[in-house]
Amino acid sequence: MRRSASLLQVLLVFTTMVKTQWSTVSGIYCKEMSPNVYRPHSVTITEFGAIGDGVTLNTKAFRNAIFYLNSFADKGGAQLFVPAGKWLTGSFGLISHLTLSLDKDAVIIGSPDSSDWPVVDPLPSYGRGRELPGKRHQSLIFGSYLTDVIITGANGTIDGQGAIWWGWFHNHTLNYTRPHLVELMYSTNVVISNLTFKNSPFWNIHPVYCSQVLVQHVTILAPLNSPNTDGIDPDSSTNVCINHCYVKNGDDVIAIKSGWDEYGISFAHPSSNISISNITGETRGGAGIAFGSEMSGGISEVRAEGLRVVNSLQGIRIKTAPGRGGYVKNVYIADVSMYNVSIAIRISGNFGEHPDDKYDRNALPMISNITIKDVVGVNVGVAGILEGIHGDNFSNICLSNVSLSVQSAHPWNCSLIEGYSNSVIPESCEQLRSNCRQTSDCYDGSSSSATHGQEPRDTLSTSQLLNPLMKFTLF
């Protein structure tokens, strides 16, 4: 126990070092974006009759305020300020060139009455996330075809009061999809920062068909047994940066998606150019970082660094299935620390259900050029379960500089995969023991191409820091 505690302390120290080491390369897609944009016009929600007592319903006040501020969209933009108080509301939409700013003691509370979350028709594409091609509840805060939208504050809170929705879900009494806390569609230049999100009925932050999205300094909280409370889910979106976030929830901390089966294939809206850094997460039912399972439009050019996953089901996860089509390729994950994680790395080729019976069973996904390096884990149940699909081997899966203190006598379970491994403890499965110089292209995180036969870079890595300590727990 003392040795494990010492190792955990080292993990905490390393997390701080990673933030410094990778600060120069994270956020490359969104470096010009900021929550601190001057708005020449500003109003406070109380000017529209809102009462912050946690009881009065303020939906009309929020909608009227947004309607009023729309007249300033072409005059430099506007800000809606939410002061200290508890502001109960149903769904309300945003506009372009708007900042929604919360005081540090402000709490926007989602109404527990489902009638305050309108039911709307689906998008024509049906390509989005895990939503069925049918009607759905509108998200608490939403917007479509917007530009220059900022949701920020001094760490104010947005609380979805999800418990009632989770109960309906478990009781099978919901006719429509549960709402998200924040969902923006077909929008550009979106910033979400310096806020706490709590108890979302479904996913918390869902940018879909968006570009130039920055999510930073965000805390997301939900009970560990809450269903589908994903933290941040960029979906069919490009040029996305997620950094310096803490998530404790019931499902994936971050999940990258791009559409579901035939709907995602036909709409063909990929997720690409995604930068993730300095994330700490805890989840009982999901992974620290996940890809899919809705990935039919394709996912590529993802770089994730400085991840800390504790007390969780899985660390790194790729989920797909026959019928998905699409691809997950050119993924680079580095500098990851895990503590008390059941499965460190999991790739599943037969995961999840289908939206209907119209999917093409011959639409096989392509999983290729996945690099995972500089990983350390303490108190890990299983090192990896890596399973491809018959007739569709997952290729160029590269593991490098991975040190895991594993409890299982059978640390790796691999089938229908191909790739390379170097400096992996415990020794990786046979399918990944090929000679990199002859048979494998290991993606190096650049957007141009995989590098053939590249040796691991000479950097200060997690296992270099912890390998001397790992000997005490491995033997």
Show which residues are catalytic: 251
Q: Note if the bond before 179 is cis, omega within 30 degrees.
A: no
Q: How many CB atoms are located within 10 Å of the residue 119 CB?
A: 15
- Judged by phi (left if over 0) then psi (alpha if -120 to 50, else beta), residue 321 lies in beta
- Residue 14's closest CA among 321, 329, 464? 464
For the beta carbon of residue 397, count every other beta carbon within 10 angstroms.
30
Which is nearest to 129 in space by CA: 177, 168, 167?
A: 177
Tell me the sheet residues that pair with 212. none
Name the strand (E) or helix (H) holding 15: helix 2-22
Instruction: For residue 50, list its beta bridge partners.
Output: none
Using a 10 angstrom Cβ sphere, with 0-12 exposed, 13-18 middle and 19 or more buried, the burial of residue 278 is buried
Sign, CA torsion 439/443/449/455: negative
Phi/psi for 30 (5° steps) reads -125, 25
Consecutive H or E run containing 473: helix 462-474
The string of DSSP codes covering 94-110 is --SSEEEEE-TTEEEEE
Task: Kindly report the length of the chain.
Answer: 475
DSSP symbol at 232: B
List the structure tokens of 188.
């550009």
Contact (Cβ atoms closer than 8 angstroms) between residue 101 and residue 89: no
